[in-house]
């Protein structure tokens, strides 16, 4: 695949992976992207996952023919991109490895001493390949501390490491935003501040193509993608709407959650999403919590606490710095409902979280009193749209 006349795609699609990074469902697989820049000096940008070394080397060989690469640029040491460094150096022992000081510390931790020559770059430093000049911009914690992105000023290409990536192999057509959002909040969500810093640097560059390490190469309407990243990394809600996330054992809490959803729709709430936390993909739920400006958490009380999947969900939000949203509660408890208090306390260190004044307490089953409380909560939620 040609990215530009000199830049070729040599990545691979993975349809074998069951859980990406040990926890994310990837029903449409995953792509590990890698690129070759052909110039007086030839650079290969990153390697691929451990299971695809042979296919990747064949892709490189197809582009290079009898030529040999001069550099392997390592932008990120996470093994989905670095696992084949040694395999590459066995095939091309004369190539030099380009990274920063932190890259080489991790490289030795993963692989032991590396015999190849090393080019240790500093933030902002440029490496000339001949016609192409590669400038390295450090992007710590997007998504590990050694990460750097690379700007090719000749073809105006930003090699963006994990940034602008998405779940899904490249041979499957699907909407970008949905799986890019789930990927972003799953993997980089905690590091919004660092992504914002990177976007500020990116804004100073003339970028015509973004080459991420996962997902499609982005060439058109780059403002759309950059705007999404700006919204996500600044923790602003992307859309007006409500996610109702519930945990229910015997169906009573579920009934209240569904009743609230129905009332919100009747009252004209612009978007109502509802999720059964025990059964739906947890990271889809996390994605929706960040997407909308309002969240309602509905759970039974369990061991004087909240039901386990609700606890996991709130932890998933907190560890990604969930903030700037309005949160409401539906609790259930047959003898001592304490879930609302527990959940409120869980958010005590979160920035800019407001709670709805109205909440719903179910004592076992939904009755007239509960329905009245749901009505009041629904009115308060939709009042935010006026």
Residues in touch with ligand FEO (CB under 6 A): 76, 78, 80-81, 143, 162, 213-214
Token pair, residue 204, equals 């100073």
- Give the CA distances from residue 272 to residues 257, 264, 265, 275, 296, in Å, rounded to whole numbers and listed in that order: 11, 7, 7, 10, 10
Give the span between the Cα atoms of 364 and 256, in whole angstroms.
11
Burial level of 157, CB count in 10 A (0-12/13-18/19+)? buried
Neighbours of 109 (CB within 10 A): 9
259 half-sphere exposure, CB direction, 13 A CA radius: 22
Q: What sign has the CA pseudo-torsion 66, 92, 16, 288?
A: negative
φ and ψ of 249, to 5 deg: -100, -50
Give the span between the Cα atoms of 125 and 133, in whole angstroms.
10
Does residue 75 contact residue 45 with C-beta atoms inside 8 Å? Answer: yes
């Amino acid at each position: 695949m040609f990215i530009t006349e000199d830049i070729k795609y040599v990545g691979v699609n993975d349809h074998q992976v069951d859980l990406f990074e040990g926890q994310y469902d990837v029903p449409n697989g995953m792509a590990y992207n890698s690129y070759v820049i052909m110039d007086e000096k030839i650079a290969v940008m990153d390697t691929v996952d451990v299971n695809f070394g042979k296919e990747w080397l064949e892709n490189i060989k197809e582009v290079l023919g009898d030529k040999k690469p001069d550099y392997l640029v390592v932008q990120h040491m996470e093994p989905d991109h670095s696992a084949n460094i040694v395999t590459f150096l066995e095939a091309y022992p004369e190539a030099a490895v380009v990274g920063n000081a932190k890259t080489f510390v991790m490289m030795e931790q993963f692989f032991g001493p590396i015999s190849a020559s090393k080019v240790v770059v500093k933030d902002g430093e440029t490496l000339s390949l001949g016609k192409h000049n590669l400038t390295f911009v450090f992007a710590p914690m997007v998504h590990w501390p050694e990460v750097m992105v690379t700007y090719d000023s000749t073809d105006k290409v930003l090699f963006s490491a994990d940034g602008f990536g998405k779940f899904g192999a490249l041979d499957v057509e699907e909407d970008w935003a949905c799986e890019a959002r789930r990927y972003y909040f799953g993997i980089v969500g905690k590091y919004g501040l660092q992504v914002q810093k990177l976007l500020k640097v990116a804004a100073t560059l003339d970028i015509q193509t973004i080459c991420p390490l996962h997902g499609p190469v982005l060439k058109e309407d780059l403002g759309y993608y950059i705007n999404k990243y700006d919204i996500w990394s600044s923790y602003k809600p992307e859309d007006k709407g409500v996610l109702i996330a519930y945990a229910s054992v015997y169906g009573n809490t579920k009934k209240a959650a569904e009743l609230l959803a129905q009332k919100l729709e009747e009252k004209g709430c612009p978007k109502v999403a509802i999720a059964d936390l025990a059964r739906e993909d947890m990271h889809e739920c996390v994605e929706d919590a960040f997407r909308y400006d309002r969240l309602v958490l509905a759970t039974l009380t369990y061991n004087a606490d909240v039901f386990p999947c609700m606890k996991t969900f709130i932890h998933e939000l907190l560890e990604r710095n969930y903030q700037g949203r309005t949160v409401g509660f539906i609790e259930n408890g047959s003898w001592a409902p304490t879930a609302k208090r527990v959940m409120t306390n869980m958010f005590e260190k979160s920035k800019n979280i407001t709670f709805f004044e109205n909440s719903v307490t179910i004592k076992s089953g939904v009755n007239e009193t509960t329905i009245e409380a749901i009505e009041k909560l629904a009115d308060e939620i939709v009042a935010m749209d006026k």
